[in-house]
A and B are shown apart, each in its own frame.
Chain A
């Protein structure tokens, strides 16, 4: 039977304002770097009239691509908002604004006829954290108050929800493998063929496949245990919420999985590879021993 009180205690368990603030900074810095590195791709959005325009998600209503100047404005605005999001300034306004801007830019990019799965988790985390009190600590003008007694549920629930979103998305990926691939996905040949397919696709489309792809074809015995391990990691992801000891080994193994995909298939999932995707599972304030004492008290208006 569902124990409402137990779930509520988990959800509303207090956390320090600094923990949530460090996650806010990590998301903001990652997003800023990501948008800047991928700026040429983002800037080239707007040519979708020549390809199949398939509006996705929240842009389902957009029957035609938008003018380039609109997209350029939103891309530039998103980069600026990412920086201010990281800084935590005017977060009540900037948090939701950046979440909306990032959702728009990434959704638009997924509306060009091919859904992209690299940004899902980043956007979901940004929506959760952008809607929270993540700007109460570690921001300009809020230093030196020296209060340590700032643990509060309002700083805990966004992190718990973000952690829940992380593990659920991995579990859904595992479910998809069983639903779409079935038992055939586990025999190893399918995983080997996915790797080979990625290399071939790159080759025929004018790219250069990973030099590791060829040698990997000669270690076919490896793919069955890797396929089983992948499925266990994904389906077992929710366990890390109830068994904290599993968090470090789970994150290490999932990171290795993404690193292996990146090195053998040249398919990069930057958000999990940066480790920011897994940050809400950990006591992030411990990264800032000096800053821990500088956490400011939240404004009275933000009380429970």
Chain B
């Protein structure tokens, strides 16, 4: 074997190792960063979906829509949905509710953390889409 071919084989081994590293999350089915399985939009998503979110209530009982910044202190819906879903899954719905209440606008007197099921196609059209709603936590803002 020539010296040159040894170098070639070493470089090839490095490339193969690099490719194996890139593909390792897919092989192990374990997503990470920056080596990923790239699962975004990869699921066969059904038409109905469940969301955890929060909404405000005014003194007259009317619903006050809360911003993403108030709900989850982010402008990224991926992070926002993850934060509220993780908090509820971790049994911290009440704690989340209190945090949101502390950030809520002045006309909000109560915050409700809810789990809602929607027909997402109807929701995207702007039509009535709510299939079910479950109240997970309720808290009041400071006067």
- List residues of chain A with CB under 8 Å of any chain B CB: 2, 4-5, 7-8, 11-12, 41, 44, 47, 50-52, 56-57, 103, 106-107, 110, 112-117, 119-121, 123-124, 161, 164-165, 168-169, 172-173, 175-177, 179-182, 184-185, 189-207, 209, 213-214, 216-218, 266-267
Contacts and interface: CB of A to CB of B under 8 A. Distances in A.
A78 to B, nearest CB: 15
A202 to B, nearest CB: 5
B53 to A, nearest CB: 5
B74 A41 contact: yes
B23 A185 contact: no
Contacts of B23: 168, 172
A204 B12 CA distance: 50
Contact of B45 (A44, A47, A197): A197
B53 A204 contact: yes
A167 B102 CA distance: 46
Contacts of A168: 19, 22-23
B42 A173 contact: yes
A57 to B, nearest CB: 4
Given A41-B76, A117-B38, A217-B125, 12 more contacts: A52-B86, A52-B87, A112-B79, A173-B42, A176-B37, A177-B42, A180-B42, A181-B43, A184-B44, A189-B47, A204-B51, A204-B118
Contact of B5 (A4, A161, A169): A4
Interface of B: 5, 8-9, 11-12, 15, 18-19, 22-23, 26, 31-47, 49, 51, 53, 65-84, 86-87, 90, 99, 116, 118, 120-121, 123-126, 129
Nearest to B48: A193
Nearest to B90: A52
A185 B69 CA distance: 33
B43 A190 contact: yes
Contact of A172 (B15, B26, B90): B26
A185 B84 CA distance: 28
B22 A169 contact: yes
A11 B78 CA distance: 38
A178 to B, nearest CB: 8
Interface-central residue, B22, B38, B39, B82, by most chain A CB under 10 Å = B38
B78 A185 contact: no
A195 B79 CA distance: 17
B68 A205 contact: yes
Sorted nearest first, the 9 A-B pairs with minimum C-beta distance are A114-B82, A184-B44, A196-B120, A173-B38, A196-B124, A200-B123, A176-B42, A199-B124, A193-B45
**Secondary structure call for the A interface:** helix
Contact of B32 (A115, A164, A266): A115
B80 to A, nearest CB: 5
A172 B22 contact: yes
B76 to A, nearest CB: 7
Contacts of A112: 79, 82-83
B71 A206 contact: yes
Contacts of A267: 78
B44 A198 contact: no
B125 A214 contact: yes
Contacts of B71: 205-206
Contact of B33 (A107, A180, A213): A107
A206 B66 contact: yes
A218 B74 CA distance: 31
Contacts of A123: 33-34
Nearest to A50: B99
A203 B119 CA distance: 13
Given A176-B26, A192-B121, A196-B120, A117 B8 contact: no
Nearest to A107: B33
B73 A12 contact: no
B83 A113 contact: yes
B73 A179 contact: no
Contact of A200 (B11, B46, B51, B83): B51
